[in-house]
Amino acid sequence: MPLATSRIPASTTTCLLGGTVLCLALATPQAQADETTASLYLWGTDVDQTLEGGTRLETSRQTVMENLEFGLMGTLVHRRGPWLYGFDGLYADIGKDGDVDVPVESEEPDGPDAIEAALDFTTRTTMAHAFVGHEWYRDANWSVYGTGGIRYTRFDTDLTVETDDGARRFDTEDNLTDATFGLRGHYSFTPRWSTPFIVDVGTGSTEISLQAFTAAEYAWGASSVTAGYRYMKWRLDDSDFLEEVIYEGPVVAYSYRF
């Protein structure tokens, strides 16, 4: 169940950027056959949300999986010559209720540090990331692309806190659009085993958004399975409710190339 702890809020700065990022090839790529890869994945993520004012809500991956109402996650990547075109999308609907200790600030010397409260918490996350990449480096083992794109994220959060003094309800919707740039690729150990990786940074509607992913992949024929770890962070500039959101945890995926 979510835990509520106190944290000193960090100051934010306004940083609005628009447009797309052009990717430059720094090495002459080798000709590659056209290929499309479709992947479905399951992300066993922790959800860590910091509210305006410093209150922190942490939901473990076990709680997320037990209370996942619906989830759909997948990627589609097309490679054509030195160019790469991709889309990554996810939707997750998570609901949870329970009793927690909510931190409070009291001007009384003997005032309580926390009060017991009943929480009813629902969060819905939608993310769509479209990107274009150009091959930056390739040899017998490495394949690295520079990427630029647009990431759209929507957080719908409903939170009801009920105490002996009454109930308070928070209901917010945050729509965020960031320009992103980064690297993605893989290192091949053998024809079957490789390590894919992704790292990118975005800004625009957020002060900053981050993504990092690495994994071990085993391929046979046109199929492959992947097991790894993914980290995503959004630091919001202008939200009535959320200050920061972090998703992180293990990922397993099945991919098919055609």
pLDDT digits (tens, 9 = 90+) for 144-166: 999 999 999 999 877 676 666 66
Residue 109 scores a pLDDT above 90: no
Per-residue pLDDT band at 64 (split at 50, 70, 90):
low
Question: Which tokens sit at 126?
Answer: 């939608």
Long-range pairs for 9-16 at CB < 8 Å and ≥24 separation? 9/50, 9/52, 9/53, 9/54, 9/243, 10/243, 10/244, 12/207, 12/235, 12/236, 12/237, 12/243, 13/207, 13/237, 14/207, 14/237, 14/238, 15/203, 15/207, 15/208, 15/237, 16/204, 16/205, 16/237
Task: Name the pLDDT band for 26 (thresholds 50, 70, 90).
Answer: very low
- Tell the residue number behind the tokens 């100051």, with chain if given: 11
218's tokens: 């085993």
What average pLDDT score do residues 75-96 get? 92
Q: What mean pLDDT, rounded, does the chain reach?
A: 79
Helix locations, the chain, DSSP H: 61-66
pLDDT at 61 over 90: no
